[in-house]
Amino acid sequence: MRFYILICLLLSSFAYAEQSASAFDPAAKVATAQLLSTANGVNGATVLSMGLKITLDDEWKTYWSSPGLAGAPPSIDWQGSENLADVEWSWPVPQRMMVYDVETYGYKHEVIYPLQVTVIDPSKALALQAKTTMLVCREVCIRAQVNLVLNLPATASSIDKASSAQLQPYVANVPVDISATSASIQQFGWDSASSQLLIEVAGLTTPVLDSFVEGVDFTLFSQPKISQQDGVTRLIIRVEDMAGTPARLDPQQALKVTLTNAHGGITFTDTIKPTVIEQTLPSWIYMLLLAVVGGLILNLMPCVLPVLSIKLLGVVESVSESSAQRRVNFLLSAAGIFVAFWLLALLFIGLKYFGIGFGWGVQFQSAAFLLIMIPVLLLFALNLLDKFDVQLPQSLMDRLSGSNKGHFYQGIFAVLLATPCSAPFLGTAVAFALAGSGWQIMVIFSGLALGLSLPYLLIAMWPNSVKVMPKPGLWMVRFRQFLAALLCATLVWLIWLLQAHLSMMLWVTFSVIICAMVILLIVKPGPKSLVTTFAIYLLLANTIIWSPESVTLLQRSDTQSESEIHWQAFEPEKIAEYVAEGKTVFIDITADWCITCVVNERAVLQRSDIITRLNADNVVAMKGDWTKPDSQIEAYLKRHGRYAIPFNQVFGPALPQGRLLPELLTKDVVTIGLVQAGQ
């Protein structure tokens, strides 16, 4: 997928506009270019300080000396200039930018590239003819040329104060060679097994914010994981190729590295040396235990609890079953859970192999998946209310009744309902698995299956333990009604999630039809009602899935949900800028289908004291909505080794690299995180 996007971006860069004026074509309204000089004349100087200023409109961007996976740096042809000996470029510290899921390095809004211009004869005038080629991009790229002219007389009485003031911040932001600082490289190694670059630097006086690596084309060097110990800064950088798979570097590859800080950065060039990076992640055995615990807790989440309760209710109702039959039934449900998790693991392994983005619970971003799950839940609820006494095809009856196949499918159904939940420990285990190899994914997902199926396995080991439950009676009718109410609540939740995919009118129409179907099946159960209602539903679902124009006909514009918190749009490229200004940044990536996210918001983030902290002048609150697919959020989560939400993170002057918060937030966790980041 990434390779396809890169090809599209490359083709779009052939859009070409040539001008002879001192700026880009005004009709394009994309960018303007200008040559600046701090001096109004040569005045006997051998080297003059100048700059190429590019001003960009809106979200247009241009590139650094190494543009990343796509793009191209600007260049100037000085042919035709008089009294010009040489021009040396300097490159201010860039920022990471995303075009779809392709990461690039460059600048937005404005940039000035400092130029050191050497003249042949300091006693003569300087006439510059600069044929500048620049690639500027947004969703598409435009390669434009502009001819710039700058003439400086041999002598002039003053300097250009305005140009000097504009140029000075960019000159200060140019990284300096490490040899001119007190820092030194302790280790520069390459771990071929994990495709990671290791950098250890001693003597730094300013915390490192990011790193940029040059020397290999079409290779992505991810944002580093940075740690400090005993005065040594350690950076571990993941390296990928265009397809998003681990890259391979030559054993003696020379690389140029730029380490950035709040005031610029340092740079060095060195040859990598083979090394083995000690795993900083917990061992896979420890993560396997977390997976088992996380899977077990999933049974108590509102998504899965009704399924387990229905299973136990079925045992009480089947008083005639032998202990051996109960054991088989629960083992079949456990087998369904294991098979479902193994299929998910294989799916994730395949997606990772082909470089396709993925995440835990993302099927709830699909309208088709929601439309399939809604009637399934409805059938379960009607069965609990004894409104499903109709003769269906035997194959369907087998799946919905207490047959062996039915017990197996109940396990699969439990897994499908479990995936939007990120229980404590589960997010950490899933992130470890999806960031690792194929066997690690299989092992951790097996641990999740073991945890989720543990109640089933325990009852299978001691089938007579169900005898401690009350004997059949009126309480069972009330309990069935209670479970049906839980399933109906889940059904309402799935219908509510469809708002992200439908126009308001279509969503209201869909909701009314579902309500009418439920009322009809309750008031007048029978084969005719069932066939009629589900025929209408299939027709409506088909219209929604296969007729995009009906979905977008009255599509409502995306708006921020009402909140007392002054949320800003999720723009990760601005985080370093805010931190450099001394501000604290709180990131909340959420989704309507994430139940844990809703709990965090209502139990913690909507507290008055937390709202006051997040709305403070020195705090920037960013919210990312992952209800629908978003490549920027997906890439950001992947860079931080996370594949599930909720995702909360704090940045600040004391935590320039950020700190991840637990999946389940508390008042103290958020408060302490904000305080520590702002110290």
Q: Are strands 584-590 and 647-652 parallel, antiparallel or unpaired?
A: antiparallel
Confidence of residue 1 (pLDDT cuts 50, 70, 90): very low
Best CA proximity match to 589, nearest among 520, 642, 536, 539: 642
SS3 187: strand
Across 15-24, 167-176, 383-392, the highest mean pLDDT is recorded for 167-176
Lowest pLDDT segment from 88-102, 260-274, 385-399, 617-631: 385-399
Q: Which pair of structure tokens corresponds to residue 419?
A: 């995936």
Q: Do 417 and 307 meet the contact criterion of CB atoms below 8 Å apart? A: yes
Q: Which amino acid is at 135?
A: L
Euclidean distance between CA atoms 529 and 535, whole angstroms:
10
Mean predicted confidence (pLDDT) in 162-178: 92
SS3 83: coil
Q: Which pLDDT belongs to residue 468?
A: 63
Mean predicted confidence (pLDDT) in 569-575: 88
Our CA angle for 424, 428, 430, nearest 5°, is 105
Q: Which pLDDT belongs to residue 576?
A: 83
Ramachandran class of 29: left when φ > 0, alpha when ψ lies in -120 to 50, beta otherwise: left
Euclidean distance between CA atoms 34 and 128, whole angstroms:
12
DSSP state of 617: T
Q: Do 392 and 610 meet the contact criterion of CB atoms below 8 Å apart? A: no
Residues ≥6 apart with Cβ < 8 Å to 27? none
Euclidean distance between CA atoms 280 and 221, whole angstroms:
19
Euclidean distance between CA atoms 152 and 127, whole angstroms:
6
Euclidean distance between CA atoms 113 and 101, whole angstroms:
27
Euclidean distance between CA atoms 294 and 297, whole angstroms:
5
Euclidean distance between CA atoms 64 and 108, whole angstroms:
11
- Signed CA dihedral, 299, 665, 630, 102: sign only: negative
Our CA angle for 575, 425, 221, nearest 5°, is 40
Q: Higher-confidence residue: 330 or 430?
A: 330
Q: Which amino acid is at 497?
A: L
Mean predicted confidence (pLDDT) in 171-179: 93
Facing residues of 108 across strands?
Answer: 61
Q: Hey, which bits of 203-343 come out as E strands? A: 210-214, 220-221, 225-229, 232-240, 254-261, 264-271, 273-274
Mind spelling out the 3-state secondary structure of 596-608? HHHHHHHHHHCCH
Euclidean distance between CA atoms 305 and 417, whole angstroms:
10
Confidence of residue 599 (pLDDT cuts 50, 70, 90): confident
Euclidean distance between CA atoms 445 and 345, whole angstroms:
6
Q: Higher-confidence residue: 620 or 158?
A: 620
Q: Which pLDDT belongs to residue 77?
A: 93
Mean predicted confidence (pLDDT) in 51-59: 88
Q: Which amino acid is at 541?
A: A
Confidence of residue 24 (pLDDT cuts 50, 70, 90): very low
Which tens digit of pLDDT belongs to each residue from 284-294? 677 788 788 87
Best CA proximity match to 106, nearest among 144, 75, 70, 139: 70
Euclidean distance between CA atoms 487 and 56, whole angstroms:
53
Euclidean distance between CA atoms 231 and 3, whole angstroms:
40
Which tens digit of pLDDT belongs to each residue from 411-420? 787 777 666 5
Q: Which pLDDT belongs to residue 15?
A: 37
Euclidean distance between CA atoms 616 and 451, whole angstroms:
42
Best CA proximity match to 570, nearest among 503, 635, 654, 496: 635
pLDDT above 50: residue 391: no
Confidence of residue 558 (pLDDT cuts 50, 70, 90): very low
In terms of C-beta distances under 8 Å and separation of at least 24 residues, what long-range contacts does 395-403 make, across chains too?
402/314, 402/318, 402/329
Q: Do 384 and 480 meet the contact criterion of CB atoms below 8 Å apart? A: yes
Q: Which pLDDT belongs to residue 126?
A: 94
Q: Which pLDDT belongs to residue 71?
A: 80
330: Cα separation from own chain's centroid: 38
Euclidean distance between CA atoms 606 and 612, whole angstroms:
10
Q: Do 545 and 371 meet the contact criterion of CB atoms below 8 Å apart? A: yes
Q: Higher-confidence residue: 391 or 81?
A: 81
- Burial-class residue 158 by CB neighbours within 10 Å (0-12, 13-18, 19+): exposed
- Mean pLDDT for the chain overall: 77
Euclidean distance between CA atoms 42 and 118, whole angstroms:
10
277 phi and psi, to 5 degrees?
A: -85, 125
Facing residues of 143 across strands?
Answer: 16, 135
Confidence of residue 259 (pLDDT cuts 50, 70, 90): very high
Euclidean distance between CA atoms 266 and 260, whole angstroms:
7
Residues ≥6 apart with Cβ < 8 Å to 167? 36, 38, 49, 50, 51, 112, 114
Confidence of residue 16 (pLDDT cuts 50, 70, 90): very low
Roughly what angle, to the nearest 10 degrees, separates helices 323-353 and 438-461? 170
Residues ≥6 apart with Cβ < 8 Å to 466? 312, 315, 316, 326, 459
Confidence of residue 443 (pLDDT cuts 50, 70, 90): confident
Q: Hey, which bits of 122-262 come out as E strands? A: 126-137, 141-152, 176-177, 184-191, 196-202, 210-214, 220-221, 225-229, 232-240, 254-261
pLDDT above 90: residue 36: yes
pLDDT above 60: residue 401: no
Which tens digit of pLDDT belongs to each residue from 185-240? 999 998 887 788 999 999 888 888 899 999 887 788 888 888 887 788 999 998 88
- Burial-class residue 298 by CB neighbours within 10 Å (0-12, 13-18, 19+): buried
pLDDT above 70: residue 281: no
Whole-angstrom CA distances from 272 to 188, 256, 646 are 6, 10, 37
Our CA angle for 545, 546, 552, nearest 5°, is 75
Q: Which pLDDT belongs to residue 113?
A: 95
N residues, the chain: 679
Q: Which pLDDT belongs to residue 363?
A: 62
Q: Which pLDDT belongs to residue 242?
A: 66
Q: Do 242 and 2 meet the contact criterion of CB atoms below 8 Å apart? A: yes
Mean predicted confidence (pLDDT) in 604-625: 90
Euclidean distance between CA atoms 96 and 73, whole angstroms:
14
High-pLDDT (> 70) share of the chain, %: 73
- Burial-class residue 126 by CB neighbours within 10 Å (0-12, 13-18, 19+): buried
